[in-house]
Structure 1
Amino acid sequence: MSQSAQKDLYAVLGASPSDSAQQLKHRYQQLVLQYHPDRLGGVCSSEAESGLRKFLEVDAAWKILKEHSSRKEYDLSRRAEELKQDWPVDSNVCLEDMSWDEDQSLYTHCCRCGGEFSITEEEVEEARQRTQQRDEEEEEDEEEHGVVVCCDTCSLSVYVTWTLQAKAPTLETQ
């Protein structure tokens, strides 16, 4: 795994995952001007070397975060790593009880710290498909499934649950 993949690329830019592409670009430009090797020509070699490392780190972070698709892929890998953490689950939340944000295709639930738990419609669908496939392979007949979701500002997590739509009763025609 490369060094840039191990570091939080948002932290490298002094930004947050909620920042817009324009905000990230502005932050990148500020850091490039600050650490560009041409601007560090008159400083001692150890400072210039440190500045060059920082410049390369900032540039590598920007190469990933500037493109929508690579940023989304990075965000998903960050989220997967967060979910692997052994954090305690604070509570269970039904997907139906979460707020739906049509613009972002995102379910959200407020955390007691003021942050929020969020899960995209795509993530829910992927989790549904995985659990349905696992249940079919193991011949289980559970109706309720879920996924752990972390707060975007603190270390709390919740277990978001839902029932499988395939189990819904069908209406008989008269």
Structure 2
Amino acid sequence: MCEAAEQDLYAVLGASPSDTVQQLRHRYQRLALQYHPDRLGGQCSSEAESGVKKFLEVDAAWRILSDQNTRRQYDLQRRAQQLQQDWPVDSTVCLEDMTWNQDECAYTYDCRCGGGFSVTEEEVDKETRSTQQNGEEEESEDGQQRGVVVCCDTCSLSVYVTWSLQDSNVK
């Protein structure tokens, strides 16, 4: 179920979390008929391949959402993930654009309210180690990137601080 948690299973079925099992079943059956490999046999291989992939996604979503226990578990994981991501993020700031504060061993950045954002060297190192240990690599144009959400010490704004995994010792 970990792979399925990365994508919204309700969206795969074109449904919403408030739908009943009967509504989900109806949506599943409609999509399963549309993308079933037997119905796609006459199409070119790339269309058939994408149809089979879609069918497998729909089937996996249905298997989780059709069972009361697995659906409840999925909904709890989904809600926990939403709560972690619901930050009022104002902007993205590169770690190298922040000012190194030697006294506090932290990177700082001024907020528009007059307060400031601060991320410690320890937080950067911890997140970098965690990423490397878990094999989580977020690719970007510059290579492997990582980041954390940092709250202003005065107002309710937050920024997403990013850095390259190769350059995590920016100072």
TM-score by length of 1: 0.49
Give the structure with the higher percent helix.
1
